[in-house]
Homo-oligomer: A and B are copies of this chain.
Amino acid sequence: MALDKEETGERVLAIAEVLLNEGGMDNLKARTIAEQAGISVGSVYNLFSDLDGVHRAVNMRLLDRLGVAGAAAMADLGRRGVTDVRDRLLALADAYVRFVEAHPGSWPALLAFNRRRPVLTEPDVYEARLDQLFEIIAGVLADGGFDLDEDTRRIAARTLWSSVHGIVTSGYAARSVRRQADEIDRQIALLVGVFIRGLERGGTFAHAGGTTS
């Protein structure tokens, strides 16, 4: 045996990520992985329980990389003395956009992976890695001087994240590739701008049932 077991696993994950990035979920085939990794099909199932297990492991790496990208963007702004809330939120959103662009196949594959089953899987680990991002956003909001209690700030952070996520994914699902990046940037700019102005005006955001007569 030439390689360590863990080392072989890493190589399989690297190959799997390339396959996912190039051809989406349908391109993740056990025989292709085995061939490119120089092992047999059975060995793939020795290293991972399923192909789903391989995909899950790739997704973990992606989420980790996304967290690093977000933290790096904040660290970079801090190093340059930028403290403006708008700039920091835009930088976070931009980091996410660049991350999605850097993973044109594997990131959509992660999203599709979660939607494949109704709710059978246990995305606890997923949520844990996403919480890391939420806390970054909540931290930015906390420094913004808004008069928000902790609970509202938590909701606002998740709302902001979900909104940016929706803008980016909806944007890239549209037809043209060019000109679409511009649309995404404009939507994000409008969202962040409107969000900050709305928060600055204070007030409560209770789930008021105003729609009923």
A residues near B (Cβ < 8 Å) are 23-26, 77, 80, 82, 84, 86-87, 90-91, 94, 104-105, 108-109, 111-112, 114-119, 122-124, 126-127, 152, 155-156, 158-159, 161-167, 169-171, 173-175, 177, 182-183, 185-187, 189-191, 193-199, 201, 203, 205-208, 210-211, 213
Contacts and interface: CB of A to CB of B under 8 A. Distances in A.
A114 B162 CA distance: 19
Nearest to A77: B211
Main SS at interface, chain A = helix
A115 B205 CA distance: 34
Given A123-B173, A162-B170, A197-B198, A190 B112 contact: no
A23 B114 CA distance: 13
B191 A117 contact: no
Given A164-B166, A166-B167, A194-B199, 16 more contacts: A82-B213, A87-B211, A91-B211, A111-B111, A111-B112, A122-B175, A155-B186, A156-B194, A159-B163, A162-B171, A166-B170, A182-B207, A190-B205, A193-B198, A197-B197, A198-B198
Contacts of A105: 118
A111 B152 CA distance: 30
B194 A207 contact: no
Given A116-B112, A194-B195, A170 B161 contact: yes
Nearest to A158: B187
A211 B112 contact: no
A156 B112 contact: no
Given A127-B175, A193-B205, A187 B155 contact: yes
Contacts of A189: 205-208
B197 A201 contact: yes
Given A159-B187, A166-B167, A210-B84, A115 B195 contact: no
B115 A108 contact: yes
Contacts of A187: 155, 158-159, 162
Contact of A159 (B77, B122, B126, B167): B167
